[in-house]
Amino acid sequence: MRPPHGLSYRPAWWLPDPHSATLWGRLGRREPKLAVRTERWDTPDGDFLELVRLDGQRGPDSPRLLLFHGLEGGAHSHYARAMFREAHARGWAADLLLFRTCGSEPNRLARSYHSGETSDPRWVVEQLVGAFPDAPLGLMGVSLGGNVLCKLLGEDGDALPPQVRGAVAVSVPFDLAAASRHIGRGFGVVYEKFFLKTLIPKALTKIARHPELAALQTVQRARTLWEFDDAFTAPLHGFRDAADYYARASSLPYLSSIRRPTLLLSAVDDPFLPPRVLHDVEAGVAGVPHVEVEFPARGGHVGFTSYTRPWRPWYYAEWRAATFLAARFDS
């Protein structure tokens, strides 16, 4: 969708605070349903991943988009549907990687997904590049998926396949410890409870399927995301505790090693992250020519709703992401 004539991003006046800007995407936003299919790919470690793929004929050299979703996200997420819309309109192929446990059924192995797990995204990139060697590939990550993407970009640097032309990361929790402490403050406790409502049952299901994880049953007493990660995410994936997990999985230390054109789009009023972290991000990428930051004052978490008419909103983030990637595909 093109922006309304003569309009740059102007936060919607009818979403006056960060929480309304955040919740509008889930509660008020409408996106057209496009034809998609879900494929299951067996992984080298004996497990599987699922990809939601945009249907339609695309040539072998058509640009491709690979999207990484946020915490407990998936094909239902408004930003995923919006990016599929953008890709469809531009003639791109598009895939959404569903992280382990976020697909149609629990994965086979005990491991799950987390904010710093980059091996699955890296493997999927390799598969896409191998299948479509002549197609430029753009990567996009949102929230948790944005942290995963930034960490992957920094880890691999120049070693990324040349087909990867650019990347966009939206509403990233660059400092996981700071984000975990911040999200449960005030009204933010609503978000925390929302995530825990699905995270804890999924964790208990995994424990039931893998008796060797019985010691992690204490996760059922978690009342915050920090307590959840301390009881389940960290020990399951080899971290000492939540603090160790956050320190090692945060993308902030990796930003200076990014070697592909990358846009970081976050709002200063994001209720999932204290504003000071964005100052740390700006300092961390100062002098890094490959990274562009855009941190408007308002937008909420994965919100960025614009335009003056509530009955005809315009969604800036997905348009901005697609426009940024299109310029790299054409270069």
pLDDT digits (tens, 9 = 90+) for 110-161: 999 999 999 999 999 999 999 999 999 999 999 999 999 999 999 999 999 9
Catalytic residue among 115, 143, 171, 250: 143
48 and 170, same domain (yes or no): yes
Residue 231: CA atoms inside 13 Å, Cβ hemisphere, count? 21
Q: 143 catalytic, yes or no?
A: yes
Q: What is the pLDDT of residue 2?
A: 57
Over 80: is that where the pLDDT of 285 sits? yes
166 and 183, same domain (yes or no): no
Domain harbouring 29, CATH code? 3.40.50.1820
Distance CA 286, CA 288 (A): 6
What average pLDDT score do residues 295-304 get? 97
Over 70: is that where the pLDDT of 220 sits? yes
Highest mean pLDDT among 6-15, 24-33, 203-212: 203-212
If one counts the domains in the chain, the total is 2
Distance CA 199, CA 213 (A): 16
Question: Does a structural domain hold residue 38?
Answer: yes
Question: Does a structural domain hold residue 254?
Answer: no
Catalytic residue among 69, 78, 114, 301: 301
- Kindly give the interhelix angle for 78-90 and 316-330, rounded to the nearest 10 degrees: 40
Full domain range(s) for residue 207: 178-249
Distance CA 86, CA 2 (A): 10
Which residue, 230, 249, 268, sits at the end of a domain?
A: 249
What are 13-55's pLDDT values in tens digits?
Answer: 999 999 999 999 888 888 888 899 999 999 999 999 999 999 7
Q: 241 catalytic, yes or no?
A: no
Q: Which residue has the higher pLDDT, 90 or 29?
A: 90
Q: pLDDT-based confidence at 4, cuts 50/70/90?
A: low
Distance CA 182, CA 44 (A): 37
141 and 284, same domain (yes or no): yes
- Compute the mean pLDDT over every residue in the chain, rounded to the nearest whole number: 95
59 and 141, same domain (yes or no): yes
Residues of the chain with pLDDT > 90, as a percent, come to 89
214 and 277, same domain (yes or no): no
Question: Does a structural domain hold residue 10?
Answer: no
Q: 270 catalytic, yes or no?
A: yes
Token readout for 329 is 């595909």
Catalytic residue among 77, 156, 270, 306: 270
Question: Does a structural domain hold residue 92?
Answer: yes
Q: Which residues, at least 6 apart from 99, have a Cβ–Cβ distance to it below 8 Å?
A: 49, 68, 69, 113, 117, 120, 145
